[in-house]
Amino acid sequence: MSANGGPLLEVSDLHVEFPTEDGTVHAVDGISYTVQRGQTLCIVGESGSGKTVSSLTTLGLTQTQGAQVSGRIEFEGRDLLKLDKNEMRAIRGGPISMIFQDPLSSLHPFYKVGAQLIEAIQAHQDVSKGAARDRAVELLGLVKIPDPQRRVDQYPHEFSGGMRQRVMIAMALSNDPKVLIADEPTTALDVTVQAQIMSLLAELQQRLGMAIILITHDLGVVAEIADVIAVMYAGRIVEHAPAEQIFSAPQHPYTWGLLKSIPRLDTPRDEELVPISGRPPSLIKRPSGCFFHPRCPYARESHTRIDPKREPVPGDPGHEVACLLEPDVRARIWKRLVAGDSPEVLKRELVGASPAPVVATEPAPETPGVEP
Partner 1 sequence: MSATASPLVEVRDLVKHFPIRQGVIFQRQIGAVKAVDGVSFDVLDGETLGIVGETGCGKSTTARLLVRLLEPTSGSIIFEGDDIATASGSALKQLHRKVQIIFQDPYSSLNPRKTVGSIISDPYIIHGMYTGEGQRKKQVQELMDRVGLNPEHYNRYPHEFSGGQRQRIGVARAIALEPKLLIADEPVSALDVSIQAQVLNLLRNLQREMGLTLVFIAHDLSVVRHMCDRVAVMYLGKVVELAPSDELYSFPRHPYTGALMSAVPVPDPSGAKRERQLLAGDVPSPANPPSACRFHTRCPKAQDICSVDDPPLESKGAVGVAACHFPLTLDEVRLRLPPALTAAVSEDPRYSPSSSSASSSASSSST
Partner 2 sequence: MYVQYWRYMKDIVFHFNFGYSYQNSQPVRQEIFDRLPATISLTVGAVIVWLAIGLPIGIISAIKRRSVLDRLTMSGALLAISAPVYWLGLVGLYLFANDIGVVKIFDGAGTYTGLTANPSQWFGSLLLPWLVLAASFAAFYARLLRSNLIEVMSEDYIRTARAKGLPERTVIGKHAVRSAITPIVTVLGLDIGTLLGGAILTETVFNIPGIGRLAYEGIINADLPVIQGTVLFGAFFIVIANLVVDITYAFLDPRVRYS
Residues that bind partner 1 (CB under 8 A): 46-47, 160-163, 190-196, 198-199, 217-224, 226, 243-244, 247, 257-259, 261-267, 269, 272-277, 279-280, 363-366
Q: How far is the CB of 134 from partner 2 (least distance, A)?
A: 19
- Strand 40-44 and strand 228-233: the pairing is parallel
Which partner in partner 2, partner 1, none is near 259 (CB below 5 to 8 A by kind)? partner 1
- Strand 228-233 and strand 179-183: the pairing is unpaired
Which of 90, 193, 208, 249 contacts partner 2 by CB under 8 A?
Answer: 90
Q: Tell me whether residue 132 or residue 313 sits nearer to partner 1 (CB atom).
A: 313
Q: How far is the CB of 80 from partner 2 (least distance, A)?
A: 13
Query: Could you give phi then psi for residue 237, rounded to 5 degrees?
Result: -90, 115
Other C-beta atoms lying within 10 Å of the C-beta of residue 223: 14
Q: Tell me whether residue 85 or residue 269 sits nearer to partner 2 (CB atom).
A: 85
Q: Output the CA–CA distances (angstroms, integers) from residue 317 to 129, 148, 149, 241, 321, in the order listed.
A: 50, 47, 50, 9, 12
What lies within 8 Å, CB to CB, of 170 at 6+ separation is 117, 136, 139, 140, 142, 143, 145
In contact, 338 and 249? CB cutoff 8 Å: no
Cα separation, 264 vs 185, in Å, equals 21
Q: Tell me whether residue 177 or residue 281 sits nearer to partner 1 (CB atom).
A: 281
- Which of 360, 65, 372, 37 lies closest to 234, judged by CA? 372
Which partner in partner 2, partner 1, none is near 100 (CB below 5 to 8 A by kind)? partner 2
Q: Is 57 in the site for partner 2 (CB under 8 A)?
A: no
Question: Distance from first CA to last CA of the chain, Å, rounded?
Answer: 33
What per-residue string of b and e applies to 83-100 under the rule 16 or more CB within 10 Å gives b? beeeebeebbbbbbbbbb
Q: Tell me whether residue 93 or residue 294 sits nearer to partner 2 (CB atom).
A: 93
Which partner in partner 2, partner 1, none is near 307 (CB below 5 to 8 A by kind)? none
Single out the segment in contact with partner 2 by CB under 8 A; choices: 73-81, 85-93, 218-226, 356-364: 85-93
Q: Is 94 in the site for partner 2 (CB under 8 A)?
A: yes
Q: Is 28 in the site for partner 2 (CB under 8 A)?
A: no
Site residues (vs partner 2, CB under 8 A): 59, 61, 64, 85, 89-94, 97-98, 100, 102, 105-111, 119-120, 123-124, 155, 157-158, 168, 171
